[in-house]
Amino acid sequence: MTAAENVCYTLINVQSDSEPPSEVSLKADLEKGEIKAKTEALKKVIIMILNGEKLPGLLMTIIRFVLPLQDHTIKKLLLVFWEIVPKTTPDGKLLQEMILVCDAYRKDLQHPNEFIRGSTLRFLCKLKESELLEPLMPAIRACLEHRHSYVRRNAVLAIYTIYRNFENLIPDAPELIHDFLVNEKDASCKRNAFMMLIHADQDRALDYLSTCIDQVHTFGDILQLVIVELIYKVCHANPSERARFIRCIFNLLQSSSPAVKYEAAGTLVTLSSAPTAIKAAAQCYIDLIIKESDNNVKLIVLDRLIELKDHPTHERVLQDLVMDILRVLSTPDLEVRKKTLQLALDLVSSRNVEELVIVLKKEVIKTNNVSEHEDTDKYRQLLVRTLHSCSVRFPDMAANVIPVLMEFLSDTNEAAAADVLEFVREAIQRFDNLRPLIIEKMLEVFHAIKTVKIYRGALWILGEYCSTKEDIQSVMTEVRRSLGEIPIVDNEIKKETGELKPEDEVSAAPAQKLVTEMGTYVTQSALSSSRPSKKEEDRPPLRGFLMDGDFYVAASLATTLTKVALRYVLIVEDKKKQNSFVAEAMLIMVTVLHLGKSSLPKKPITDDDVDRISLCLKVLSECSPLMNDIFNKECRKSLSHMLAVRLEEEKLSQKKESEKRNVTVQADDPISFMQLTAKNEMCSKEDQFQLSLLAAMGNTQRKEAADPLASKLNKVTQLTGFSDPVYAEAYVHVNQYDIVLDVLVVNQTSDTLQNCTLELATLGDLKLVEKPSPLTLAPHDFANIKANVKVASTENGIIFGNIVYDVSGAASDRNCVVLSDIHIDIMDYIQPASCTDAEFRQMWAEFEWENKVTVNTNIVDLNEYLQHILKSTNMKCLTPEKALSGFCGFMAANLYARSIFGEDALANVSIEKPIHLGPEAPVTGHIRIRAKSQGMALSLGDKINLSQKKANL
């Protein structure tokens, strides 16, 4: 049975390497074998019938030799056998032998063993033949009064199924079950009985609930869940009933069962929009997140809170609960923390921002005390970003946040320190009143900075914003302290020779071997490679970076020294002091340049860095007003402009979000009447229980295009030709992790086709879940066959196969029709996503699979080509609109998407318009795709190749 069609009760494992036994040997085992042999034979019969074998000759054997046995295993297997065995003749009449089976089950329903009675009742739920059920009805009714609850609860299920399928067999079922429910004490029996009344006779269910509504909180959780479902359905269908049941739902929020609390909170939100109800539901959700240990549960409930927040009228209520929401941060899982921080940030207001910042500061300090772990670093980064956002939105908070965060500039985790640095840079530019505080803290932590990237950023901030004489001198002191004794080259050589003199074991021979034509410092350079590691640790930080060959920091240092020196000249009037300061700055630059040109560092200085340092030396020697203006004003203007653009983008995105959330109703908007609305217009009026059931069964329908029928027809694939004896076409329905193939098979011949079987195989990361059952097709008849395919990762997959069948009366071998391949489109799994520039660059460096696609299109406009690629690949453009606007003949853009399996896909589009070939020349260039898996990179490349050729203009 396919999951999309029917409920599957029993899963039977079939060993693929086992050979099917003969009917004769099975008959012998079933007649004369021991209990164990009969059990094995019966299992084999069941498997053969499931595979399409008929085996009519064994039916009477099983009735005579197996059915009378009292062994429990045999009885259980017989229930499966009678469920799957054909019970009717080809013309649809019940087999005569089934009367004997019916009599055997009537005896089992009166058996003293409760297990046999209960399992027989469960089996009767699956029978679809009313002639078999009719003689058993008195025995089924009698089971409602059995002493054991297992029998009674299965009797209720049997009565419900029979009433639903054949109401004429037990017309008084609702009344019977209502009386049973009133007197029943067992929770599971009450739950089954109440469930039946909900679906069979809702009025009786409500009557019963009315009599015990005050005792609901004392019931078992399984019954409480069913009561919540009934209340939801009643209030959904008849809103006037809400007031009658809302108190009951409020009481169930205090239930001891987490499942009941969750369902009650969800129902309460749909029943009432009152602030007290929303607050109670939200509080219940928060308690569930904190108390539940399963991270998946936490994430699901967090999503419910986020849905509440997205409702404009509920947001105000949730703002009062921000501090409660922050209690969730005690969870160690990073994904839960990420969602919690985002939710708290969305809900923060001027009323609670101060408390939020205090909690976040405590959390940041806590991360410093925890032993180093990968998630700790990422969590710290999240906290820094959240505090950054708070400070930008509420500038009054910045003064409290900055001192705590600046301690993390000396952190070994570069990512968190880089976020702090970015925040500090923005704060020092935006908030003039905080500059002295930031400069003071920066000078305090400057010597402790461990990573070169952070060091460069800190140097730039100090050079740009130190404006007093004392601060400038402090910067120079810190630089000298971080650089150590100068000139560096002489100092390093003295160190080496000084260390080597007392050591007798170092011979002259190695030194001689290492002397080459490199120049003065070769011997020392060679010896420096065997320096003890202790001395390397003793080096000041800046000197350490330079000795490692990182001279980009030297270029940054030169720029900083130039800025502070030019500013010092303007502030201090004493010529002698001016010259002394400028000379010191120039000496530092020269000594760094000398070091770069020597062979002491691990890598020599690059030409770019030499040019920058030389330029700074020239500027300081001339001190022209123009250069002063460029160094001390234009740099800051560029930063100011960049921050202004970013702020404008943030405001624009916030405005769009708020516009989305604000529900505006125009005076001339049509009034929607619930009774007249189309199914797809119901939106919030849909039954949430039904939707969740469909989602669990994998039957959720995606939102189709404007014309749902047209979009469904687009997914129909023709599998055979119109002249083939069997015509087949498939509708490919892609759910999240599986594909359902709905194959229509048409017999185009005048013969009856027996054992018509759809045989499928897959290529790629696809797996066929089940083998479709064989069919018998009458002449010119048709049938639908469903097949499920599981998907494991994002890559193009191919499903191929054939249809095989026997022609009735023909002596020839089986006939075969080969099917066309079904190509599974990668676009069904890829969704647009966004990430920061830093994250994009990091992933770009980490991902090992790259696919370079050459642009081959007939589109002549750059922007149009980019939009076409975005549309055909489901990717999102990370490059801002402003960077892409205008026309300059070329374009570079970064694209990003994420699959439903959590795989990332990156793309870099580099295209140009060859103007020299005329205005109608098509776009040229390359698209580079990077992904973690080879399949993703290749599949996305194939998709781009196919789609760019399809562009019709």
Q: Which residue intervals of 605-720 are DSSP H helices?
A: 607-622, 625-629, 635-661, 688-697, 708-713
797 strand-pairing partners: 824
Token code pair at residue 30: 């079933």
Token code pair at residue 104: 């055997």
Q: Of 170, 80, 62, whose CA–CA distance to 126 is shortest?
A: 80
Nearest-angstrom CA–CA distance, 103 and 63: 11
Supply φ then ψ for residue 930, to 5 degrees: -125, 140
For 920, residues 6+ apart whose C-beta sits below 8 A from its C-beta are 860
Q: What is the residue whose two structure tokens read 């011979």?
A: 507
Token code pair at residue 79: 């229930």
Residue 702's pLDDT band (cuts 50, 70, 90): very low
Distance, C-alpha 482 to centroid of its chain: 45
Q: Pairing state of beta strands 797-807 and 753-763?
A: antiparallel
* Top mean-pLDDT range of 203-217, 330-344, 479-493, 515-529: 330-344
Bond into 171 cis (ω within 30): no
Q: What is the 3-state secondary structure (H, E, C) of 751-780?
A: CCEEEEEEEEEEECCEEECCCCCCEEECCC
Nearest-angstrom CA–CA distance, 891 and 744: 48
Which H or E run contains 902?
none
Q: Of 592, 631, 352, 610, whose CA–CA distance to 483 is shortest?
A: 592
Helix (H, G, I), strand (E, B) or coil at 951: coil
Of residues 488 and 776, more confidence is placed in: 776
Q: Of 614, 611, 596, 494, whose CA–CA distance to 547 is shortest?
A: 596
527 and 508 Cβ atoms separated by less than 8 Å: no
Measured from the Cβ of residue 421, the count of other Cβ atoms closer than 10 Å reads: 26
Question: Is the model's pLDDT at 408 over the cut of 80?
Answer: no
Residue 500's pLDDT band (cuts 50, 70, 90): very low
Question: Is the model's pLDDT at 119 over the cut of 70?
Answer: yes
Nearest-angstrom CA–CA distance, 178 and 868: 63
* pLDDT, tens digit (0-9, with 9 covering 90-100), for 79-105: 888 888 887 777 777 788 888 888 888
For 398, residues 6+ apart whose C-beta sits below 8 A from its C-beta are 391, 427, 431, 434
Supply φ then ψ for residue 506, to 5 degrees: -85, 115
pLDDT of residue 746: 93
**Strands of 887-950, DSSP E:** 890-899, 904-912, 924-931
Supply φ then ψ for residue 344, to 5 degrees: -60, -40
For 735, residues 6+ apart whose C-beta sits below 8 A from its C-beta are 698, 699, 700
Of residues 821 and 57, more confidence is placed in: 821
What's the full length of the chain, in residues? 953
158 and 190 Cβ atoms separated by less than 8 Å: no
804 strand-pairing partners: 757, 816
pLDDT of residue 726: 92
Nearest-angstrom CA–CA distance, 232 and 224: 12
Residue 508's pLDDT band (cuts 50, 70, 90): very low
Instruction: Give the rounded percent of residues in the chain with a pLDDT score beyond 70.
Output: 82
CA angle 796/799/800 to nearest 5° reads 135
Token code pair at residue 612: 């920058």
Supply φ then ψ for residue 144, to 5 degrees: -65, -20
Residue 642's pLDDT band (cuts 50, 70, 90): confident
Token code pair at residue 69: 């046995």
Of residues 413 and 622, more confidence is placed in: 622
Cα end-to-end span (Å), the chain = 48
219 and 211 Cβ atoms separated by less than 8 Å: no
* Mean pLDDT of the 127-153 span: 88
Nearest-angstrom CA–CA distance, 175 and 177: 6
Question: Is the model's pLDDT at 339 over the cut of 70?
Answer: yes
Supply φ then ψ for residue 761, to 5 degrees: -140, 160
* Mean pLDDT of the 890-915 span: 87
933 and 846 Cβ atoms separated by less than 8 Å: no
**What pTM was computed for the model?**
0.68
Question: Is the model's pLDDT at 521 over the cut of 70?
Answer: no
Helix (H, G, I), strand (E, B) or coil at 680: helix
Question: Is the model's pLDDT at 827 over the cut of 70?
Answer: yes
* Mean pLDDT of the 126-138 span: 86
pLDDT of residue 340: 87
pLDDT of residue 811: 62
Q: Quick one: CA torsion of 218, 223, 228, 229, rounded to 10 degrees?
A: -170
Q: Pairing state of beta strands 738-747 and 782-791?
A: antiparallel
* pLDDT, tens digit (0-9, with 9 covering 90-100), for 208-240: 888 877 777 778 778 888 888 888 888 877 777
Token code pair at residue 108: 């089992």
Residue 423's pLDDT band (cuts 50, 70, 90): confident
Nearest-angstrom CA–CA distance, 443 and 159: 82
Give the type of residue at 802.
N
Q: Pairing state of beta strands 738-747 and 716-718?
A: unpaired
Nearest-angstrom CA–CA distance, 722 and 942: 30
Residue 682's pLDDT band (cuts 50, 70, 90): very low
Of residues 45 and 686, more confidence is placed in: 45
Nearest-angstrom CA–CA distance, 940 and 15: 38
